[in-house]
């Protein structure tokens, strides 16, 4: 499971020009699920996301996590995070999980993030053609892969 975490001052996702989810300060999380991801991967990743200390404290140092600033999370599924670009110029998405595997894990990640954050999160819609807007604060962008824990 791969997450691209972007610290934002605001972010939103729309589908067919209809606003689906929006947040102010917090994280936009793009989530890629592969065929061998598990509940253990998403639990570990959720705790890592919520515990990520990238918000500024009173001294201007990145020392606070999202709960300390009462931030929000916008979670968007993105299978293209598992693109393979080794051959040619057309990416292969063979490592991205099929919907029968990915949808239950995406839905479980929503529940886990809400539990770890202590409040509801905003989301996109799995498999939809979405338009994502954000103001990356910093910019701060961090990539976490649940298969690279060491």
Catalytic residues, by residue number, are 78-80
CA gap 96, 119 in Å, rounded:
29
Helices (H), the chain: 39-51, 99-117
Please give the Cα distance from 79 to 34 (Å, whole number).
8
Measured in degrees and rounded to the nearest 5, phi and psi for residue 90 equal -105, 115
Round to whole Å and give the CA distance between 80 and 111: 23
Q: Is 45 exposed, middle or buried (0-12, 13-18, 19+ CB in 10 A)?
A: buried
- The answer for residues whose C-beta is within 8 angstroms of residue 72's C-beta and 6 or more apart is 23, 24, 25, 26, 27, 66, 119, 121, 122
């Amino acid at each position: 499971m791969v997450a691209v975490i972007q610290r934002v001052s605001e972010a939103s996702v729309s589908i067919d020009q209809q606003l689906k989810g929006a947040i102010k300060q917090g994280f936009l999380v793009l989530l890629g699920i592969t065929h061998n991801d598990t509940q253990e991967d998403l639990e570990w990743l959720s705790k890592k996301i919520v515990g990520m200390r990238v918000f500024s404290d009173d001294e201007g140092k990145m020392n606070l996590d999202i709960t300390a600033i009462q931030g929000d999370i916008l979670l968007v599924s993105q299978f293209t995070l598992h693109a393979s670009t080794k051959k040619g110029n057309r990416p292969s998405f063979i490592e991205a999980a099929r919907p029968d595997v990915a949808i239950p894990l995406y839905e479980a990640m929503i529940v886990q993030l809400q539990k770890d954050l202590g409040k509801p999160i905003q989301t996109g819609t799995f498999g939809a053609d979405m338009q994502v807007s954000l103001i990356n604060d910093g910019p701060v962008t961090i990539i976490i892969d649940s298969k690279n824990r060491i």
